[in-house]
């Protein structure tokens, strides 16, 4: 019998909204059918390896606060292999079918790239075995191209081609491992693909190199027959002052400019949206509208803290608006909702790992239920349709289909005179939303 790491915690049950048991679901019921599909198919939850298993509770002002029973204080290969078992026990008890990792989360770096790759292979083999035993799947893999000091000036946007090549080698290997583990997506988050000052930066040159790198990755994907969807995760800043993948609009413009728009979609993280000065629903709506919404990093920030706090999202209104976008585009598959979220430094009990995830899952489940009711009832849509009704009229249709010139529009305006004032009725919409959340 394998070692049990979460003693005293069994499979998390569904107990319904009346329950006050922190180790039970109040809303998340994987098989409950919502909008014609089981809840779990709309939500496709994933646990992230980095915060959950590599996070220590450290911040800029102090060291880690968590004491984990499996942590032997070493960075040995054995300790990473043990962490794989911890991960799978957690996922099984939580009832989550997916997880995500960076290459450097699952295996230690060796003295050389060769040794590092060997370590990766060893741990990946163990992960594969556990995946086969449990049916748990990999939502996405990604290469950590930001922690090691070699990437301090960027990975693919580094002024030094040597670093570009090193980053390519790392992504190549990570893609091999991701393919081997059946990853359904592969993510690029460019934490150091940006600049601290334009004074020393060739902005256009760096963007050209970045695009070249992404083209090489897309080519390699095809070459090895990897089926995963490639995703770019926008974030405006942190760790660098300006990151090139600033927000969805910047990423879409970049992908289109470099002819990469058929190969990549975006992975939208809620806290990154707010850092960019947007709401979560803005980024989701924008990405979905242009056919680029691939997956979600399900977290949130704190309105009083200006950095990436990666908290579990507890805001039902926000998850309702998010799930409305997901419902409207028919789901996220092959993407999902990855909890790129961590416990507060002060939440130091082992059971808090479960509580954080349960609460996050319940918040999105509740958002899904509310969004489904909202869509079914259709009042919002009806009001919006009415607001834009003139575009269905004769003039609207002519404009949309390119049948009209500025001179003809001038003619119309001269004849019709001043347009009537039409209220936007924001408060009416807000009032309606509150009925659902
Ligand atoms: C950083 C972040 C990353 C990506 C994966 O803010 O969100 O963890 O999700 O590299
Ligand atoms: Co993320």
- On whether the CB atoms of residues 238 and 275 are closer than 8 A, the answer is yes
Cβ of 192 below 6 Å from ligand 1: no
The pLDDT tens digits of the residues spanning 273-299 come to 999 999 999 999 999 999 999 999 999
DSSP collapsed to 3 states, 190-222 = CCCCEECCHHHCCHHHHHHHHHHHHHHHHHHHH
Work out whether strand 185-188 and strand 137-142 pair parallel, antiparallel, or are unpaired. Answer: parallel
CATH superfamily of 33-377: Divalent-metal-dependent TIM barrel enzymes (3.20.20.150)
Asked whether the predicted pLDDT for residue 249 surpasses 70, the reply is yes
- If pLDDT is split at 50, 70 and 90, which confidence band does 1 have? low
Could you give the 3-state DSSP secondary structure of residue 230?
strand
pLDDT of residue 76: 97
Q: Is 105 a catalytic residue?
A: yes
As a whole number of angstroms, the distance between CA 199 and CA 395 comes to 51
State CA 368 to chain mean position distance.
17
Closest residue by CA, ligand 1 atom 8: 340
- On whether the CB atoms of residues 326 and 5 are closer than 8 A, the answer is no
The pLDDT tens digits of the residues spanning 195-242 come to 999 999 999 999 999 999 999 999 999 999 999 999 999 999 999 999
The pLDDT tens digits of the residues spanning 375-411 come to 999 999 999 999 999 999 999 999 999 999 999 999 9
Q: Provide φ and ψ at 183, rounded to 5°.
A: -55, 140
pTM (two decimals): 0.97
Domain boundaries, the chain: 33-377, 389-434
Distance from Cα 242 to the centre of ligand 1, integer Å = 16
Helices (H), 4-146: 39-43, 49, 77-94, 103-106, 113-134
State CA 61 to chain mean position distance.
27
Determine the length of the chain: 437
The pLDDT tens digits of the residues spanning 27-56 come to 999 999 999 999 999 999 999 999 999 999
pLDDT of residue 2: 83
- On whether the CB atoms of residues 231 and 267 are closer than 8 A, the answer is yes
The pLDDT tens digits of the residues spanning 314-373 come to 999 999 999 999 999 999 999 999 999 999 999 999 999 999 999 999 999 999 999 999
Q: Provide φ and ψ at 411, rounded to 5°.
A: -55, -45
Indicate the average pLDDT of the chain: 98
104's tokens: 């450097």
The pLDDT tens digits of the residues spanning 353-365 come to 999 999 999 999 9
Could you give the 3-state DSSP secondary structure of residue 201?
coil
Q: Which of 45, 27, 95, 19 is nearest to 372 (CA)?
A: 27
pLDDT of residue 339: 98
For 415-437, what is the mean pLDDT? 97
Asked whether the predicted pLDDT for residue 181 surpasses 80, the reply is yes
Cβ of 366 below 6 Å from ligand 1: no
For ion ligand 2, residues whose CB falls within 5 Å: 269, 297, 340
pLDDT of residue 177: 98
As a whole number of angstroms, the distance between CA 142 and CA 139 comes to 10
pLDDT of residue 100: 98
The pLDDT tens digits of the residues spanning 93-131 come to 999 999 999 999 999 999 999 999 999 999 999 999 999
Cβ of 189 below 6 Å from ligand 1: yes
């Amino acid at each position: 019998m394998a070692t049990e790491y979460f003693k005293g915690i069994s499979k998390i049950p569904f107990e319904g909204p009346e329950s006050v048991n922190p180790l039970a679901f109040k809303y998340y019921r994987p098989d409950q059918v919502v909008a014609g599909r089981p809840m779990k198919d709309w939500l496709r939850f994933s646990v992230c390896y980095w915060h959950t298993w590599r996070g220590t509770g450290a911040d800029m002002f102090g060291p880690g606060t968590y004491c984990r029973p499996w942590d032997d204080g070493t960075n040995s290969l054995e300790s990473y292999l043990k962490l794989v078992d911890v991960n799978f026990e957690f996922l099984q008890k939580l009832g989550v079918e997916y997880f995500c990792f960076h290459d450097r989360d699952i295996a230690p770096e060796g003295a050389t790239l060769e040794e590092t790759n060997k370590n990766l292979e060893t741990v990946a083999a163990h992960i594969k075995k556990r995946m086969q035993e449990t049916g748990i799947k990999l939502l996405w893999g990604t290469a950590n191209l930001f922690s090691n000091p070699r990437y301090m000036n960027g990975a693919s946007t580094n002024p030094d081609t040597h670093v570009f090549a090193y980053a390519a080698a790392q992504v190549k290997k990570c893609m091999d491992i991701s393919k081997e583990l059946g990853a359904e997506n592969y993510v690029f988050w460019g934490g150091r693909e940006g600049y601290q000052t334009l004074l020393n930066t060739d902005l256009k040159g760096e963007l050209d190199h970045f695009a070249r790198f992404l083209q090489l990755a897309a080519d390699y994907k095809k070459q090895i027959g990897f089926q995963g969807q490639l995703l770019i995760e926008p974030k405006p800043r942190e760790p660098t002052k300006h990151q090139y993948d600033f927000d969805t609009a910047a990423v879409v413009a970049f992908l289109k400019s470099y002819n990469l728009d058929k190969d990549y979609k975006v992975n939208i993280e809620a806290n990154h949206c707010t850092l960019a000065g947007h709401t979560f629903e803005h980024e989701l709506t924008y990405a979905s509208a242009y056919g680029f919404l691939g997956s979600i990093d399900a977290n949130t920030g704190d309105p009083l803290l200006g950095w990436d706090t990666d908290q579990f999202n507890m805001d039902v209104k926000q998850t309702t608006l998010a799930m409305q976008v997901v419902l409207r585009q028919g789901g996220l598959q092959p993407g999902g909702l990855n909890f790129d979220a961590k416990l507060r430094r002060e939440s130091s009990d082992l059971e808090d790992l479960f509580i954080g995830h349960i609460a996050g899952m319940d918040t999105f489940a509740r958002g899904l239920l509310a969004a489904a009711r909202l869509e079914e009832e259709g009042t919002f849509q009806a009001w919006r349709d009415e607001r834009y009704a003139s575009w269905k009229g004769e003039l609207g249709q002519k404009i949309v289909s390119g049948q009209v010139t500025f001179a003809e529009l001038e003619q119309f305006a001269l004849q019709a005179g001043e347009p009537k004032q039409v209220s936007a009725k924001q408060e009416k919409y807000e009032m309606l939303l509150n009925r659902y959340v």
